[in-house]
Amino acid sequence: MGVISIPTSKKTPAAPGRKTSRTTTASKKSTAKTAAKKTKTATATSGKGKILIVVESPSKAATLSNMLGKNYIVRSSKGHMKDLPKSRLAIDIENNFTPEYILVQGKAALKNELLKLAEESSGVLLASDPDREGEAIAWHLADILGIKPDEKCRVRFYEITENAVKSAVKNPDYIDINKVDAQQARRILDRLVGYTLSPLLWKKIRFGLSAGRVQSVALNIICEREREIMKFVPDPYWVITANCETSDRKNKYELRPEKLDGKSLMKNSIPLLINTEEKANEIIAEIKANKIIVSEFKTKNASHAAPAPFRTSTLQQEASRKLSLVPAHTMRIAQALYEGINIPGRGHVGLITYMRTDSLRISNEAIDACRDFIKANFKKEYLPAKPNIFGAQSKSKNLKVQDAHEAIRPTDINLTPDSIKDALTPEQYKLYSLIWRRFTASQMSPAVSAKAVLKAEAGRVELRQEGETLIFDGWSCLWPIDLKGTELAEIKENEILTLTKVQSENKFTKPPARYSEAGLIKTLEENGVGRPSTYATIAGTLESRSYIEKNEEKRFFPTALGLTVDEFLAQYFNRKDLSSIVDAGFTAQMEKELDEVEEAKRKWLDVVGEFWKEFSSTVDEAQDAPHVALPAPEPIGEACPECGHDLVKKRGRFGEFIACSNYPACKYARPILSNIGVKCPKCGEGDVVQRKSKKGGKTFYGCSRYPDCDYVSWNRPAGEKCPECGADLYKRGSTIFCANCKYKAQVNEG
């Protein structure tokens, strides 16, 4: 099958492969009259009509209406106006992969309204989001509204402030066909993979399964980690701590053995070579039998550079860690902050710049404003002599894709979180505060710490302790800093320490941790899988397909179904060629090729054609694969109370449950109730059990006597009362806390 080349000039009409087989023809009838009557140039200012601006979301439309005034009509397309139909492939593979776009269901009335407004207006501006998907939305709108390819109809708002909006409206641009091509290539690739693999999975594993290009890589990453955990064999080791003090008892130290007979006991910062109780006892005996003499005490100042401002992935990671927000929720809140909040005395104003970005670039105006703020509100030592420059900004010529975008930052540094707190929801306030503090910290002076190392000898044993003290907080006055160890009091060499206690603790090496939301996003980004617009939906898609679940620690693990699907895909679609959809390296290369399409270095048809040639061949081979049996449901050793057949564990949308093995003849089912070992705080009779909500499958806690007792809680009860106010305590990880007052304490897990 041949692949054609297509022109990519901004002023060139849409080439073969871009036109649709259905709606383009239909829309011509309704727009020919509009297009013929007058040219909808965005710069038109004459005429009685107003200028029509079409954005994606209704909230953004409201914000822009307030900013631009009576000479503009702002309407929302409410996302895509055209898309591929869900019921079929809708890609003409034999005709240069021509996509069949149709009007999104339910948008006929909106289309007619926009056509009428365009007819009456003196100009049309297309102001969808400034990314690839937004460019594709603008391209479809141009087709619907009869806007010619050589018209400057496109405006992009990287921040929604009055100056930025008015400047963009006065300086419209062309639709970037290269971005449209990159987005169209991604959409076609994803459609080809999903609509080709899904029927294969139905045939070989189970009806109703699905697979995706990026999601399959993420599933493989989670499954590979689970296989590492299952294969892991723990190794024992002993941690020895020598508690010492100076002769005057003023300073205390906790030393640990580092060497024995001059040979290191450490491996990967763990005393893995103290691997038997006999060796641990030998070292302890040596410490007890000898004087502990200080051999070295050194301090060295360390400078800690300010953290970079947020890009999409790091915002999602920190919001997950610090605010317990899932990425999709983080992006919804960020979208609202970007589109505009009604601030008393200011009106509707966008509080942050565009939140889908992988750039660390900051405009000179924003840097100057931030430095002025720091100068006015902090002591002079908190302002560095020169602005802090990060990554992409210093090498922007090599990162054309990112050049138009900035990092995520507040649009007005003077709008501090506390000054607008009353105008924000609690979640908006927390996320805005995170963004504001991170950006402001990024332009502050380095933090400075003193790192101390204490070494001592006890016969054949060399001991060590490290500590770190913050000398100057710098940027860390706004953003937390991680220091190694605690403060170490200075001590002279050859001083003898008094041993107060020596103890050993038997531990075992741990398997690699399962991925959290933040950890998965970080791994995907490091491997070049996905882009800012995709991170938020990847894990959610896998969860909705029942391929993965979260445990109580909010870490992902694959279900039996997920492992089965991954094993099948890895066997047939991980051959290190162009069909390797579960290989992170291949998917990263595909993302790079899409970037090259956007940069006009490659044709989208070449990228799609090369992929399809290998992929379709592999799919054909996989058609001969044997059927894969899913693991049989696990019997629980209990008979069904309704029909007498065995009860088994099954897995549904919200996790495991108990059901009759005689289904569908018998439909008996009940949830699996996990007893957490705490009596019900309300009735005192039942036990607190873990449940899943019917809407969303969120974990909550209730009484085992329900419906006789209606106790429920989103927080896990700790089974204790608060020592300060007497209310119930709750547990999260290793922390117990009171929801009634500010009491909080750490618990011993072991």
Q: Is the dihedral of CA 520, 525, 530, 536 positive or negative?
A: positive
What is residue 5's three-state secondary structure? Answer: coil
Max Cα–Cα distance, the chain, nearest Å: 101
> CB count, 10 Å around CB of 210?
17
Element (H, E) at 505: strand 496-508
Cis preceding linkage at 512, omega within 30: no
Using CA atoms, how far residue 337 sits from 124, 410, 737, in Å, is 26, 9, 31
Distance CA 699, CA 693 (A): 6
**Active-site residue among 354, 572, 701, 730?**
354
Nearest one of 271, 445, 470 to 371, comparing CA atoms: 445
Query: 């974990």: which residue's tokens?
Result: 699
Write a three-state SS string for 98-110. Answer: EECCEECCCCHHH
Nearest one of 671, 664, 675 to 636, comparing CA atoms: 671
Burial of 376: CB neighbours in 10 Å, binned 0-12, 13-18, 19+: exposed
Q: Residue 634 pairs with which residues in a beta bridge?
A: 649
> CB count, 10 Å around CB of 633?
18
Element (H, E) at 241: strand 236-245
> DSSP string spanning 455-495?
EEEETTEEEEEEEEEEEE-GGGGTS----SS-------TTP
- Tell me the chain's radius of gyration from C-alpha atoms: 31
In the residue annotation, 354 being an active-site residue is answered as yes
> DSSP string spanning 314-373?
HHHHHHHHHH---HHHHHHHHHHHHH-EEETTTEEE--BB-S--------HHHHHHHHHH
Distance CA 663, CA 682 (A): 37
What is residue 117's three-state secondary structure? Answer: helix
Distance CA 216, CA 572 (A): 13
Q: Are 82 and 103 in contact (CB under 8 A)?
A: yes
Q: Are 702 and 721 in contact (CB under 8 A)?
A: no
Measured in whole angstroms, the distance separating CA 601 from the mean position of its chain's CA atoms is 29
Q: Report the DSSP pairing between strands 674-679 and 687-692.
A: antiparallel
Distance CA 364, CA 382 (A): 19
Residue 415 tokens read as 């709008």
Angle 23-27-29 from CA coordinates, rounded to 5°: 130
Strand ranges of the sheet holding 687-692, from the earlier edge strand across to the other edge: 674-679, 687-692, 699-703, 712-713
Backbone angles phi, psi at 568, to 5 degrees: -65, -50
- The catalytic residue positions are 354
